[in-house]
Structure 1
């Protein structure tokens, strides 16, 4: 009722920016110092603090940032943006468009951005061109890239300056449509599903996190920190998707080797497969730890809570669990293959000893004239 009543009064105007985050997993690792020399680019500024506390959020190795030329969309929006290079092999493209709209205009825009504009193709072409320049700084560059995309709607000002509770009470249905990118009103169940994933630090700020978009009502500095955390959560999802795919392929290869190499001597041939499997395992575990520890939350519990909420909504824990399960399976397979090799080697050694003894006995008996 409040949404309808308010729309009949003076139109509410929202001012802020909408961001499209496009991320690509391009290699195992990026040497940021080398890349910074190639691009002559400074490191990204650390995210602003949510409050003046002794704790803070810090990148272990801040990404290298490179500005991009403004882009024009078919709908007339002029985009500004930047490319970020993370040391764990992810390249992120951020497009930004400043707006001052009514609720309905914002809903229309976010729906079009979510479902009609192919930001990924536009960003991938841009990244592939830049990767050619950055190639000397890339370690184990991939030919096939996985990608993730995410929208962030940052509202800085609203007519009447409502606080977070008032905003949700009056415009909760409209916020849900913005987050879902849907031009039609949502059911009460779906609206509540969207709105339950909200978090605030002050009464005047609000973050509502969805699986493909987020709504932020905050100051520019507060929104900057939240956007970087959302970007980091999506880059982690991308990394764990890559590890999941890599481990799936490795395990399939090992299973195929069991079927294609039956017999006793297959145990000896499995030693090479076991070594390759163990090498991949060590690489995955190292890279997983690298991506997982790329950002630190030191005493800033709100930032940690916001990150956990964002990670849960985009699916990071689910893929992380899948990767861990496949690591456990690979470790069990490695131990099995090593045990099979050791058993085969022990049997071969015992057989060799028996053969040597038989030969010695034959020569011994021949020497005695039997």
Structure 2
């Protein structure tokens, strides 16, 4: 397989704030470049609907040094209202056979150079849009990385049936320098999709191989969205863990007694727990409702398979289980609180009666 033209799109996604106010982004922040809402172009809105499309801006060409090699890239940024910034660096290669392309692509993605360059761009960008960031995060950020290998033109057509005879492609997908087994090729083919004889996409956890002569912006956006949802699910899960840890620590340090029952401390802990449950449910609903899939067509299949590969639903399920356990804890806490308060009130009443009886005899 001889590749005449191909793009390698390196993506880095960072959770930088609770929210990004997209309405506050203007061309003044990007050297006159106007940000625009990046929606789906080729995808039928009846099958997939982006409820809150990101704001996108082209940041222009850059010359990076990666692994000692000068690399000309086109840099772009997308801002998602979840509080996520996605940076993309696109490098164009050509006139390589598949073996050479795989070797070079794998080498370019190795080492710390790319991460360092992206983080430098991120810091500059965050300073530029600081007024748009609501509750800006402190470093280190939660992040995800993803790579698109997009073959634009080949000397001969590439079809899904050809994949088993392209070992270099399989090792590229898995990021390995050595040839892989037929079993790994079979696993890769389970995540291959093709709509016509002239296009192809193979999904993996941290990359995708795409054959597309036309515009692949929709595929990139859908895969970015899937990565954003994974990133936010990870962040919310970590946030829930930290808040639960603090909540149970406060609960463990509280002793049941007259002071704790009537000071309102236990009721405050219960209210904090219920507030945490509500906030988490609102966050997850905001996340899962960002993309509406109504029909099982080509692009919807790709998006759903990406979520499956990323195990996003497993992260959300873990959060649901923690929230369910927390509801049960709050219910038990309220029952214990009510029982202890009733018991203390009974003893107070008994004590008051005893005092009155003593007064009578005195």
TM-score w.r.t. length of structure 1: 0.86
| Alignment correspondent of 2:248 | 255
Runs of 4+ more than 6 Å apart = none
Cα displacement string for residues 161-210 of structure 1 (whole angstroms, at most 9, x for unaligned residues): 23333x32442x22211111222111122222222211122232211111
TM-superposed deviation, 1:97:
0.9
From the superposition, tell whether residues 18 and 130 of structure 1 become closer, same or farther in structure 2 (CA, over 3 Å).
Answer: same
TM-score w.r.t. length of structure 2: 0.88
Please give the secondary structure, in 2, of the residue aligned with 1:76. Answer: strand
TM-superposed deviation, 1:95:
0.8
Where does 1:39-50 land on structure 2 (aligned, <5 Å)? Answer: 39=29, 41-50=34-43
TM-superposed deviation, 1:250:
1.8
TM-superposed deviation, 1:248:
1.3
TM-superposed deviation, 1:44:
2.7
Where does 1:230-269 land on structure 2 (aligned, <5 Å)? Answer: 230-264=223-257, 265-266=259-260, 269=265
Cα distance between partner residues in 2 of 1:136 and 1:48: 30
| Alignment correspondent of 1:58 | 49
Aligned residue among 115, 120, 125 for 2:110: 115
Given that 1:38 and 1:133 are in contact with CA atoms closer than 8 Å, whether structure 2 keeps it comes out as no
Larger mean Cα displacement after TM superposition, 88-97 or 187-196: 187-196
Where does 1:164-183 land on structure 2 (aligned, <5 Å)? Answer: 164-165=160-161, 167-171=162-166, 173-183=167-177
From the superposition, tell whether residues 350 and 169 of structure 1 become closer, same or farther in structure 2 (CA, over 3 Å).
Answer: same
Aligned residue among 189, 196, 205 for 2:183: 189
Please give the secondary structure, in 2, of the residue aligned with 1:322. Answer: helix
| Alignment correspondent of 1:136 | 131
| Alignment correspondent of 1:67 | 58
TM-superposed deviation, 1:137:
2.3
| Alignment correspondent of 1:102 | 97
| Alignment correspondent of 1:33 | 23
Paired residues, number = 351
Cα distance between partner residues in 2 of 1:272 and 1:349: 20
Cα displacement string for residues 127-179 of structure 1 (whole angstroms, at most 9, x for unaligned residues): 222222322222222214101001111112111123333x32442x2221111
Given that 1:38 and 1:134 are in contact with CA atoms closer than 8 Å, whether structure 2 keeps it comes out as no
From the superposition, tell whether residues 161 and 235 of structure 1 become closer, same or farther in structure 2 (CA, over 3 Å).
Answer: same
Cα distance between partner residues in 2 of 1:194 and 1:83: 29
Aligned residue among 316, 322, 326 for 1:320: 316
Cα distance between partner residues in 2 of 1:121 and 1:323: 32
From the superposition, tell whether residues 94 and 54 of structure 1 become closer, same or farther in structure 2 (CA, over 3 Å).
Answer: closer
Given that 2:36 and 2:57 are in contact with CA atoms closer than 8 Å, whether structure 1 keeps it comes out as no
Given that 1:17 and 1:96 are in contact with CA atoms closer than 8 Å, whether structure 2 keeps it comes out as yes
TM-superposed deviation, 1:251:
2.0
Aligned residue among 258, 270, 288 for 2:284: 288
Structure 1 position 358 matched with structure 2 position 354: yes
| Alignment correspondent of 1:15 | 5
Cα displacement string for residues 313-363 of structure 1 (whole angstroms, at most 9, x for unaligned residues): 122122222222222222222222222222233233333333333344444
RMSD value, Cα: 2.3
TM-superposed deviation, 1:245:
0.8
From the superposition, tell whether residues 126 and 346 of structure 1 become closer, same or farther in structure 2 (CA, over 3 Å).
Answer: farther
Given that 2:38 and 2:55 are in contact with CA atoms closer than 8 Å, whether structure 1 keeps it comes out as no
Where does 1:301-340 land on structure 2 (aligned, <5 Å)? Answer: 301-340=297-336
Given that 1:88 and 1:287 are in contact with CA atoms closer than 8 Å, whether structure 2 keeps it comes out as no
From the superposition, tell whether residues 122 and 273 of structure 1 become closer, same or farther in structure 2 (CA, over 3 Å).
Answer: farther
Larger mean Cα displacement after TM superposition, 103-112 or 116-125: 116-125
